[in-house]
Structure 1
Amino acid sequence: MFTGIIEDLGEIKNIEREGSNIHYTLTCSFVNELKIDQSLAHNGVCLTVVNLDAENYTVTAIDETLNKTSLSDWGIGDKVNLERCMSANGRFDGHIVQGHVDTTGKCISIIEKDGSWVFTFQYTTENMTVEKGSITVNGASLTVVDSKDDQFSVHIIPYTYEHTQFHALKVGSTVNLEFDILGKYIAKMMRRN
């Protein structure tokens, strides 16, 4: 379980394919605090630490994960949003994030607004967003500003822009989307009636 509050940008140091799996080796500011078998969200995708040394750690993505996320687009030197699992004794600053990506989306617009940015994303899925509801984009917990059937917008403040992967996104970039879990349950119940 995660909150969508990004802790750090990790850098991909190595990529190794083994069968249909891909092993990603990364570094970040809290490598010394990680342990084997720990869950860590990478651009919103929950992956398990499988190897660790003083400077780097490794996670493995299986075929199912690679097919549903943007991980197969990653390259050596790329930066990814990182978040460790939620601590049970702290504040809950974001929203409930599972680290289970629902689909990918495309950035279709970036508008600078005199110190902040409006990002618009398009997606194809049965899930939906609602105005002022929560959405996770590459692991970052955000508030939906403009919701349409197949797209939504979010406003990004300078801190988020600088300290997450948002500063590297361009029109056409693929992002991982996790829709609000409460909204997904409500939509499922409504379809039953």
Structure 2
Amino acid sequence: MFTGIIEDLGIVKNLVKENDNLHLTIQSVLAPELKIDQSVSHNGVCLTVIALTENSYTVTAIKETLDKTNLNVLEIGATVNLERGLKLGARLDGHMVQGHVDQIGTCTSVKTQNGSWVYSFKYDASLGNLTIEKGSVTVNGVSLTVVNSKDGGFSVAIIPYTYEHTNFNRFEAGTVVNLEFDVIGKYVARLHNAR
């Protein structure tokens, strides 16, 4: 379980394909604090640490993960939003994030608004996911509030701190992102559709 509050921007140092799996080595200031078998969110994808060095660590993404996320388009040198698992008893500053990406989406526009940014995204609504105005959504692991919800799309507003401390500052129209929709909203939608 995560909060969607990014702790560090990791740098992809190595990508090794093995059968259908992809091993990702990430350089991060978090590396000295990690341990083998620990869960870390990478652009919103929960992956398990399998190897450590002084300033980097390695995780593995399997075919299922690569098919449903943007991890398969990462290149060496790319930045990745990182967050360690939620610590019980700590404040929940974002919202409840599972680290299980529902689907990918595409950035359709980035607009500067005198000290903030508005990002718009589209996604395949036929997969049953939805957003609501002022509801929560996770984009590349970042907990955000929806400011404009429509069928198959939404917008979010980004403050300067988020812009500077996440990979949002590299987004442009056409950037593929990982989306995790609000878990409570998903259960409500499922119950409603079952009627």
Aligned to 2:129: 127
> What is the deviation of 1:30?
1.5
The 4+ residue runs of structure 1 with deviation greater than 2 A are none
Paired residue type of 2:91: R
Pairing 1:173–2:175 present: yes
Aligned to 2:189: 187
Aligned counterparts of 2:56 and 2:110: Cα–Cα separation in 1: 33
Paired residue type of 1:163: H
RMSD of aligned C-alpha atoms?
0.5
Aligned to 2:72: 72
TM-score by length of 2: 0.98
Aligned counterparts of 1:119 and 1:157: Cα–Cα separation in 2: 11
Aligned to 1:106: 106
Count of matched residue positions in the alignment of Structure 1 and Structure 2 = 193
Aligned counterparts of 1:104 and 1:13: Cα–Cα separation in 2: 23
Q: Secondary structure at the match of 2:192?
A: helix
Aligned counterparts of 1:59 and 1:170: Cα–Cα separation in 2: 27
For residues 127-146 of structure 1, what are the structure 2 equivalents within 5 Å?
127-146=129-148
For residues 20-169 of structure 1, what are the structure 2 equivalents within 5 Å?
20-124=20-124, 125-169=127-171
* 1:40-61 CA-partner distances (Å, limit 9, x unpaired): 0000000000011112100000
Aligned counterparts of 2:30 and 2:48: Cα–Cα separation in 1: 15
* 1:97-138 CA-partner distances (Å, limit 9, x unpaired): 000000000000111001100000000031100000000000
Aligned to 1:4: 4
Aligned counterparts of 1:60 and 1:30: Cα–Cα separation in 2: 17
Aligned counterparts of 1:121 and 1:62: Cα–Cα separation in 2: 26
Query: Is the CA contact (8 Å cut-off) linking 2:10 and 2:80 kept in structure 1?
Result: yes
> What is the deviation of 1:95?
0.5
> What is the deviation of 1:74?
0.2
Unpaired runs of at least 5, structure 2 = none
Unpaired runs of at least 5, structure 1 = none
> What is the deviation of 1:89?
2.0
TM-score by length of 1: 0.99
Aligned counterparts of 1:60 and 1:2: Cα–Cα separation in 2: 19
Aligned counterparts of 2:177 and 2:98: Cα–Cα separation in 1: 16
